[in-house]
A and B are shown apart, each in its own frame.
Chain A
């Protein structure tokens, strides 16, 4: 199966700062998603982004499928952005979605 590496593994930000999270895939993916797991464990789907760029408020994501990576941008971070961010994808016609290693983000006031 595909391998999904995320960087950085841990990140501490001052409230109001911007950040970029990266996701690298070992193989081409045709279904790429970003998730936020809040401190209470709930997973929220942020983006479905197999290619191109999407924006949702302070968050945006870009996927360059040919180069097997995706980026998640967080601008003007808030304490509620804290938690773990996962990217996930699948290849070809295979139904299994493989999750990345995660980036743990802490936003401090």
Chain B
């Protein structure tokens, strides 16, 4: 299994600002992902964080709004840019191990935008 540390755990931000969320895994993992969970909803994949190259974004998510970095096999960041109240959600980092089977999650970042 993998232990994933995510920070900050929560934040309250002003409209128009940006927030960077950090994700640290305790072991090298092949795949890292970023999900969004809106209140009372299921999880939606934002993007796959690729080590050493640009992230792969899902439909409806763009790099300018959600830039992602993954400089090595254990660390990734997600930035939520130019925030609006519609960005208020839980953002979750996840990773899968070498076999690409089980998915593990960080504790999430509760973001509120005023």
Q: How far is the CB of A35 from chain B (nearest CB, A)?
A: 8
A23 to chain B, nearest CB (A): 12
Cβ-defined partner of A99 (8 Å) among B1, B42, B58, B100: B42
Count residues of A near B (Cβ-Cβ below 8 Å). 19
Which residue of the partner chain, among B31, B45, B58, B92, contacts A43 with CB atoms under 8 Å? B92
A40-53: contact bitstring with B at CB < 8 Å (1 yes, 0 no)?
01111100100000
- Interface of chain A: mostly helix, strand, loop or mixed: strand
Name the prevailing secondary structure of the B interface residues.
strand
Q: Is A106 an interface residue (CB 8 A)?
A: no
Asked if B75 is at the interface (CB within 8 A of a chain A CB), the reply is no
Residues of A within 8 A of B (CB): 31, 33, 35, 41-45, 48, 86, 88, 95-102
The reply to whether A41 and B90 contact each other, CB–CB distance below 8 Å, is yes
